[in-house]
């Protein structure tokens, strides 16, 4: 899936305007990079279009341990969205990500996240 198609899908699913879908995607991927190990973030980034790869640069080699509520809170702060909008946005980005990288790649991501993430998507 190319970058424009990814953002269009997120925009429809969130639902938010296209420019907000870009902010939301960036915020979600930056937060995901904090929650994944660096090697998993790098693997995931290699499967995404170039504009999205920078957002998946992990700040540390180890994953930070936080759950879905903190994840949504961080996305909300980064994107400027209210908590419920941020939760819908995270759902939209993660479901689009699953389609973009396929079930195998997405399962590797989910393996590093608490079970509550699987229920979200």
Question: Residues of the chain with pLDDT > 70: what percent?
Answer: 100
Are 96 and 6 in contact by the 8 Å Cβ rule? The answer is yes
Q: Where are the domains of the chain?
A: 3-120
**Average pLDDT for the chain:** 94
pLDDT at 114 over 90: yes
| Cβ neighbours, 10 Å, residue 3 | 14
| Confidence class for position 8, pLDDT limits 50, 70, 90 | very high
Q: pTM here?
A: 0.95
pLDDT at 59 over 90: no
Q: 79-106, pLDDT tens digit by residue? A: 999 999 999 999 999 999 999 998 888 9
Beta strands in 31-98 (DSSP E): none
CATH superfamily of 3-120: Uncharacterized conserved protein DUF2267 (1.10.490.110)
Q: What crossing angle do the helices spanning 18-35 and 38-45 adopt, rounded to 10°?
A: 140
């Amino acid at each position: 899936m190319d970058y424009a198609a990814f953002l269009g899908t997120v925009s429809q699913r969130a639902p938010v305007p296209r420019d907000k879908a870009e902010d939301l995607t960036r915020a979600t991927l930056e937060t995901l990079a904090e929650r994944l190990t660096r090697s998993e973030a790098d693997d995931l980034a290699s499967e995404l279009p170039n504009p999205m790869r920078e957002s998946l640069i992990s700040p540390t080699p180890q994953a930070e341990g936080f759950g879905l509520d903190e994840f949504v809170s961080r996305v909300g702060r980064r994107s400027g969205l209210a908590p419920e909008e941020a939760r819908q946005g995270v759902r939209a980005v993660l479901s689009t990500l699953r389609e973009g990288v396929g079930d195998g790649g997405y399962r590797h991501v989910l393996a590093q996240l608490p079970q509550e993430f699987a229920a979200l998507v």
